[in-house]
Amino acid sequence: MAHAIPFARMNGLGNEILVADLRGQTTRITPDAARALAARAETHFDQIMAIHDPVTSGTSAYVRILNADGSEAGACGNGTRCVVQALAAAPGGQREFLFETKAGLLEAFEREDGLVTVDMGKPRFDWQSIPLSEEFADTRAIELQIGPIDAPILHSPSVASMGNPHAIFWTKDDVWSYALDRFGPILEHHPLFPDRANISLAEVTGPSALRLRTWERGAGLTGACGTAACAAAVSAARTGRTGRSVTVTVPAGGELLIEWRDDDHVLMTGPAEWEWSGTLDPETGAFARDEAARESAS
């Protein structure tokens, strides 16, 4: 395999992640390679976290994030936790990191209990920063609905950016009662969202608890989406539905603790899991599993 680079198949609460190490070289994973990897069951992913050499002095690495359709994402909280765990597990690996991404800088660290905390930065609520294609003075609830005008199924979502745009529809029923797979892709490409959007259904299950389902921009239905959990948590607090510390249950069955601090930063804490390792060709997406990984899995 030409130009083989090491990668790990991981997951963050069911969010399927490939962590690829491209440090020490100038190559990049192409959109064609990303789509080829996403098309195979064995390497299907929600995001690829491609680790590159630092661009800015004082940072640990530059992390380029690719969606399953080959497009680039600005942030991925679950993927960032996977990167932390992968780097911390390396010989002499550190436990505290400062990553640079398309959306800015992210601080992250592995805790003593093995969970990983990521400082996701400050949420953005201004309509131009999300961005939206038209002005809304109050983004806690905007004019957007699903279904007939006179009897919408869902309406008035909260919108926010966590480095990528999110729309959160609040449900009174179980989030599984709605066909998110049908209207998610339509709303992702709605003209209101010039950069497309992540579409979530959120159910308040307690004063500090949410249940969440997400149609992820560029990836589709996902077992978990860290930035969506953050966007839903801050929007719940902002609309008076919860306090500023929220446990978010995701479709894969796990939980993320989201804390919206007084300094406006959002901290996300949760697990990451290694599945297997291998090598891949960043130009074509051809891959091979490590023999050691095959033996340990058998």
Q: Could you give the residue numbers annotated as active site?
A: 76, 225
- Please, what's the b/e burial string for 239-255 (b: 16 or more CB within 10 A of its CB; e: otherwise)? eebbebebbbbbbeebb
Query: Closest Cα to residue 272, out of 16, 91, 41, 51?
Result: 16
Cα(205)–Cα(43) distance, rounded to whole angstroms? 34
Please give the helix or strand (H or E) that residue 61 lies within, else none.
Answer: strand 61-67
Judged on CB neighbours under 10 Å (0-12, 13-18, 19+), 149 is exposed
Number of other residues whose CB lies within 10 A of the CB of residue 36: 19
Cα(120)–Cα(118) distance, rounded to whole angstroms? 6
Its sign, for the CA torsion 217, 223, 224, 228, is positive
Read off the DSSP letter of residue 126. Answer: S
- Token look-up 């209207």 returns 183
Cα(191)–Cα(132) distance, rounded to whole angstroms? 9
β-partners of residue 108 are 97, 118
Torsion of CA 177, 77, 219, 69, to 10 degrees: 170
